[in-house]
């Protein structure tokens, strides 16, 4: 098994990825500003990843794999932090690779693509419409050049719409759970007509782990289900599943101008990875 560094290990997705990696027998180095809530089986490392130090690879315990999920303001799509931090992310990963890192996985996003109707695959052209999407897209392009130069595999893990009752999240599902806990009976909502690719947080963590620790498929990998569903349908189902006493107030907010009527991931590459996992473990693995 591998020694895996997880940056953003105490984050919304990171905590679940750390647990999944440990469950699969990997040694995990957990990196974050605050490490109070990570799995106690992980090895905490509070070294600042944006220090610019050339020996950052050694400072972070010389891992085999880095799963880079640290990112500020991921749910604030036009935050100034996205472009301001971009060069720091690039410098960090370049120094890790120069230090001897064997494999890099980075969290991407459907927002790199921008406005698109239908399925997204690794060849879909990108025209991002937000600062978040622009910065992630630029980081991917830069990292691919670095990977080619140093001949190491890059897994660019493109995520779509995450479903979770985790109260630390900032998406609509976490906000609804928080609102219900506060005793609210209605929740302001859009029309809910847009169709997205939804995935439960636990399933996403599993796909991230499997994709990051294999060597047969690299490049852009959609960590998704490939099954579009309307936002209204998925949120209403979420409310029923949790038995929440709260109703959606449709039309209280306008739909975002940069959201497509329907956008989802092509899961072909992650399905290939899962098929390889099936062969390796001798059992069937599904989304």
pLDDT tens, 16-49? 999 999 999 999 999 999 998 899 999 999 999 9
Give mean pLDDT, residues 152-159. 96
Q: SS3 for 67?
A: strand
Confidence of residue 137 (pLDDT cuts 50, 70, 90): very high
Give mean pLDDT, residues 160-189. 91
* pLDDT greater than 80 at residue 282: no
Output 167 or 149, whichever has higher pLDDT.
149
What is the average pLDDT score of the chain?
A: 94
Catalytic-residue membership of 132: yes
Confidence of residue 287 (pLDDT cuts 50, 70, 90): low
* pTM, two decimal places: 0.93
User: What is the distance between the alpha carbons of residues 164 and 12, in angstroms, rounded to a whole number?
Assistant: 10
All CATH 3.40.50.720 domain ranges in the chain, comma separated: 3-162+198-227+261-281
- Looking at 132, 250, 253, 284, which residue is catalytic? 132
Nearest one of 196, 203, 200, 199 to 228, comparing CA atoms: 196
Tell me what pLDDT residue 256 has: 82
Could you give the percent of the chain with pLDDT greater than 90?
Answer: 89
Tell me what pLDDT residue 281 has: 67
* pLDDT greater than 60 at residue 139: yes
**Are the C-beta atoms of 95 and 144 separated by less than 8 Å?**
no
User: What is the distance between the alpha carbons of residues 28 and 1, in angstroms, rounded to a whole number?
Assistant: 10
* pLDDT greater than 90 at residue 74: no
* pLDDT greater than 80 at residue 167: no
* Domain spanning 3-162+198-227+261-281, CATH architecture: 3-Layer(aba) Sandwich (3.40)
Q: Give the residues across from 6 on adjacent strands.
A: 30, 67
Tell me what pLDDT residue 283 has: 54
Tell me what pLDDT residue 11 has: 93
Output 74 or 281, whichever has higher pLDDT.
74
* pLDDT greater than 90 at residue 258: no
């Amino acid at each position: 098994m591998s020694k895996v560094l997880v940056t953003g290990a105490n984050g919304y997705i990171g905590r679940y990825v750390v647990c999944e990696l440990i469950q699969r027998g990997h040694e995990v180095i957990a990196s974050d500003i605050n490490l109070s809530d990570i799995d106690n089986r992980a090895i905490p490392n509070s070294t600042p990843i944006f220090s610019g130090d050339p020996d950052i690879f050694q400072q972070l315990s010389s891992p085999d794999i880095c799963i880079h999920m640290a990112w500020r303001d991921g749910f604030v799509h036009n935050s100034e932090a996205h472009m301001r931090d971009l060069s720091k992310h690039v410098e960090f990963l370049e120094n890790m690779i120069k230090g001897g890192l064997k494999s890099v996985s980075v969290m991407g996003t459907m927002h790199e693509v921008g406005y698109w109707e239908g399925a997204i695959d690794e060849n879909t052209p990108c025209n991002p419409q937000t600062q978040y999407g622009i910065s992630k897209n630029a980081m991917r392009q830069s990292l691919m050049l670095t990977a080619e130069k140093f001949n190491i595999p890059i897994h660019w893990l493109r995520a779509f719409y995450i479903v979770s009752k985790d109260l630390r999240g900032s998406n609509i599902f976490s906000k609804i759970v928080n609102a219900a806990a506060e005793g609210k009976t209605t929740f302001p909502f859009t029309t809910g007509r847009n169709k997205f690719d939804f995935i439960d947080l636990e399933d996403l963590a599993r796909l991230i782990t499997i994709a990051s620790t294999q060597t047969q498929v690299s490049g852009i990998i959609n960590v998704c289900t490939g099954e579009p569903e309307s936002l209204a349908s998925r949120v209403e189902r979420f409310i029923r599943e949790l038995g929440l006493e709260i109703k959606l107030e449709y039309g209280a907010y306008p739909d975002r101008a940069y959201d497509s009527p329907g956008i989802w991931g092509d899961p072909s590459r992650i399905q290939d990875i899962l098929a390889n996992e099936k062969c390796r473990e001798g059992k069937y693995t599904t989304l």
